[in-house]
Amino acid sequence: MNTIEQFNEHVMGTYGRYDLVLDSGENRTAVSEDGKEYIDFGSGIGTNSLGFCDEDWVKAICEQAHKIQHTSNYYYTKVQADFAKKLCETTGYSKMFFGNSGAEANECAIKLARKYSFDKYGKEAGRNIIITLVNSFHGRTMATLSATGQEVFHNYFFPFLPGFANVKANDIDDLKAKLSEYDGKVCAVMFEFIQGEGGVCPLTQEFVDAIFEECEKRDILTIGDEVQTGVGRTGKLLAGENFGKRPNITTLAKGLAGGVPIGVCLADEKCDKVLTAGTHGSTFGGNPISCAGGIAVLDKVTKPEFLDEVNKKADYFKSKLLEIPEIEGVDGMGLMVGARLKTKTSAEVCKACLENGLLILTAKAKLRFLPPLNISYDEIDKGMEILKKVLA
């Protein structure tokens, strides 16, 4: 039995996987079990921010594994304290909560927002609705699925959690109408600055301004789901910086620890004391190895020169894409790029790229690119040659 057969015999078939077994990786190239090389324009969905097995990152996690790997959250560890300090200082938030995934980071944000209004307005006020956007994606747990504004995810698993309402992205009238409809009942508005799974669709500055203005007036918390857009992905440490905004709450996960599981919920002074002892937790949350990986990522990504490079590479990456005739246009910010195709489907292109040694992603009808933030120009060129060939 080969690896794929063995895997499928024992693992639930929740993913449509490609017939490819990856065995190792170096820089921005993965190597399959049968020795073929693949340039990586996907970073394992934006998680391997420093590529495969970056030397400093490997060193940080190995040292931590040799020192202490897990303690539970009954005790303190220095590596957690160091990571939290660095993350709060560089993002400007006052406190954070440790989880292990994007969905968990968002669960924390949802609980925090509801308790904020409960504490301040009482149970009877019923201020528990969270407004999210049509075409959003917030995760696969029951609460984050309920928050996700895409019908395709709302099958099978009834009943969903009450207390979520959707507004059309970039539709200020719809936002105002829903806030009036649920006047006094809304505790938070939650959104991605750039909808990732939804197709790499950025919010407009006007819409973002309206969210912040309307929420401020009504004491509604803003929640930025930066699970995909965060940690340098869009050319700034947080995508909100591109809009001149910092929500009361920001969630991070994917790229934060360079490819080991982590999820955090950051809160500002307005709401950072809402979750008190016993109200939330996670056994693995703040795992020391993940925190060590997170420090290694932040050490690099928070350097201004690093983000300057990300922006330069992003311009280069997009200009290269636009040279390909089959590509109609590009969307996104920094190294989070969506490409609209003229005639081909994103699924067929993705598969053909893979067969030719290039890993890319799709998001709806678009090709989606989330290359490692430290990808080299040479690697971009090599990947683009493959893409060009596939799209010819």
Task: Give the helix/strand (H/E) hosting 183.
Answer: none
Cα Rg of the chain, angstroms = 21
CA distances from 76 to 68, 93, 182, 288, 296 (A): 12, 21, 42, 10, 20
Cα separation, 385 vs 369, whole angstroms: 15
We find the least distance from the C-beta atom of residue 100 to ligand PLP, in angstroms, to be 8
Report helix, strand or coil for 116: helix
Torsion angles phi and psi, residue 372, rounded to 5: -50, 145
**CB closer to ligand PLP, 145 vs 387:** 145
We find the least distance from the C-beta atom of residue 277 to ligand PLP, in angstroms, to be 25
Cα 169 off chain centre by: 18
Residues that bind ligand PLP (CB under 6 A): 101-103, 106, 137-139, 192, 196-197, 225, 227-228, 253-254
We find the least distance from the C-beta atom of residue 139 to ligand PLP, in angstroms, to be 4
**CB closer to ligand PLP, 138 vs 320:** 138
We find the least distance from the C-beta atom of residue 149 to ligand PLP, in angstroms, to be 12
**CB closer to ligand PLP, 260 vs 298:** 260
**CB closer to ligand PLP, 324 vs 363:** 363
- Residue-wise DSSP of 315-333: HHHHHHHHTSTTEEEEEEE
In this structure, which amino acid lies at residue 162? P
Q: Which two tokens stand for residue 97?
A: 């909560």
**CB closer to ligand PLP, 109 vs 386:** 109
Cα separation, 271 vs 280, whole angstroms: 15
We find the least distance from the C-beta atom of residue 301 to ligand PLP, in angstroms, to be 18
We find the least distance from the C-beta atom of residue 344 to ligand PLP, in angstroms, to be 24
**CB closer to ligand PLP, 179 vs 239:** 239
Cα separation, 375 vs 362, whole angstroms: 19
**CB closer to ligand PLP, 257 vs 386:** 257
Residue 362 gets the label, from left (phi > 0), alpha (psi -120 to 50) or beta, of beta
We find the least distance from the C-beta atom of residue 227 to ligand PLP, in angstroms, to be 4
DSSP state of 204: P
Indicate the pairing of strand 186-191 with strand 194-195: unpaired
